[in-house]
Amino acid sequence: MISSDIIFGIFFIFQTCIGFMGNSLLFTLYMYTFLILPHKKKPVDVILAHLTLANALTLIFRGVPNIMSSFGIKLEMSDTGCKTVLYIQRVTRSISLCTTALQSTFQAVTITPSDHKWAWLKKKISTFIQPSLLFFWTINMAIYSVIILKTVASRNTTEGGIGYYTASCKSSAYDQQTSSIFLSTVFIRDLFFLSLMTCNSIYMVNILFRHHRKAQHIRSTIQSSQSSPENKATHVILILVSCFVFFYWTNTFFTVYLVYLAKKNYHLEKFSNFFSSCYPTICSFFLIKNENRIPG
């Protein structure tokens, strides 16, 4: 009979390989467009390049340790290795949050009617993209710098207690003041970007509904064909936002529960890791489906 660890390992292999290949394909496309075909570059490509890079890194730095531990391969890491792996996991996951929110904001502004009071943002939104991305990387790297101080290699696989544990690493609990500052900062950041995604989604659904109702009255083939690419992109972003929110809260629940669990639960930890990597994998498929520069 196949053990649950082997089953988890097989799922992690498929998830990591498929997701990494999809995100790598997209990232390569964006880099090729930037360097070789700049005339085909779209403003949103910069956002998507950062998103696919973050997704690919998340899948590798989460997937490989999960695969090895599932198949019983002891992953010996030094303290520096543990700090690096957990730090990149946290930062790239946060970059996915921030860039998905930025992507939804960009699309919401893009489909804003020309007579709307926020229509003036259409001409300026592109200039905000690169400074925003730089800010995202800087602030998230700063927030998770505490991981560097509190993470070490885990020598005893049976140890438990309050803190975050993996098969090879452990991140011990912070003192009360540091913990309060860290959790408050993460909570405020997450609440802001999740609220931004929610507001953008509601706004885009409203725009699509009004457009659909207007198209029913006008019955204009020309108008429908002109707006279909934007509508298609909007639908994709709405799906991505919904997927992100679902997997985000599921993984957050598992993570918080595991931190305060007195005894380690490896199966629950694997569920948490699997859910945390679902969005990076699914995201690449929806982006590829919406990318008309990929033949076939």
Provide, rounded to the nearest whole percent, the portion of the chain with pLDDT above 70: 85
Q: DSSP letter string over 167-185?
A: SSEEEEPPPHHHHHHHHHH
Strand partners, 172: 163
Distance of CA 97 to the CA centre of its chain: 5
pLDDT of residue 192: 96
Alpha carbon dihedral 48, 54, 56, 60, in 10-degree steps, equals 180
pLDDT of residue 290: 79
CATH number for region 4-153+162-290: 1.20.1070.10
φ, ψ dihedrals at 169, nearest 5°: -135, 160
pLDDT tens string 178-211: 778 888 999 999 999 999 999 999 998 888 887 7
What b/e sequence results for 223-257 when a residue is b if at least 16 CB atoms lie within 10 Å of its CB, and e otherwise?
eeeebeeebebbebbbebbebbbebbebbeebeee
pLDDT of residue 151: 79
Sheet with 169-172: strands ordered across: 151-153, 169-172, 163-165
Separation CA 271–CA 184 (nearest Å): 26
pLDDT of residue 226: 46
* CA angle at 278 for the pair 277 and 279, rounded to the nearest 5°: 95
For the record, the structure tokens of 45 come out as: 């490509």
Euclidean distance between the first and the last CA atom of the chain, given in angstroms as a whole number:
41
**CB-based contact 293:33 (threshold 8 Å):** yes
pLDDT of residue 97: 94
For the record, the structure tokens of 13 come out as: 């292999």
Separation CA 191–CA 34 (nearest Å): 33
- Beta strands per DSSP E along 77-150: none
pLDDT of residue 289: 83
Low-confidence ranges of the chain (pLDDT < 70): 1, 155-167, 172-174, 212, 215-230, 259, 262, 294-296
pLDDT of residue 235: 86
Which residue matches tokens 């200039």?
Answer: 127
